[in-house]
Amino acid sequence: GDSVTQMEGPVTLSEEAFLTINCTYTATGYPSLFWYVQYPGEGLQLLLKATKADDKGSNKGFEATYRKETTSFHLEKGSVQVSDSAVYFCALSDDGDYKLSFGAGTTVTVRA
């Protein structure tokens, strides 16, 4: 079945540091890939997505590229801010299906 594996946290960074969160997936079809973010006390928000191989999703300075050859969708940001402190979830939705499979989530804390 479909599954998502995310790097374990928590991750603690200083402001302006580079952030990368690894995500790999297993899917039977051609999935769409997503990163969701959950800020403290709030619901999940879609951060970015990619629907086919080599697509790059980007939003708020975050980027992730759909790599079919390595079945990966790593999240990166070049210079994090304190406001980026949140839990980040990698997820996939297999071809033709709305159902999402989530990774375990990675807690990121950015210190001033």
Partner 1 sequence: GAVVSQHPSWVICKSGTSVKIECRSLDFQATTMFWYRQFPKQSLMLMATSNEGSKATYEQGVEKDKFLINHASLTLSTLTVTSAHPEDSSFYICSVGQASYEQYFGPGTRLTVT
Residues that bind partner 1 (CB under 8 A): 32, 34, 36, 42-46, 49, 51, 89, 93, 97-100, 102-105, 107
CB of 55 to partner 1, least distance (A): 11
Tell the smallest beta-carbon distance from residue 47 to partner 1 (Å).
11
Closest Cα to residue 90, out of 80, 76, 68, 75? 75
Question: DSSP 3-state assignment of 59?
Answer: strand
Cα–Cα distance for residue pair 75/62, rounded to 1 Å: 7
| Smallest gap from residue 61 Cβ to partner 1 (A) | 19
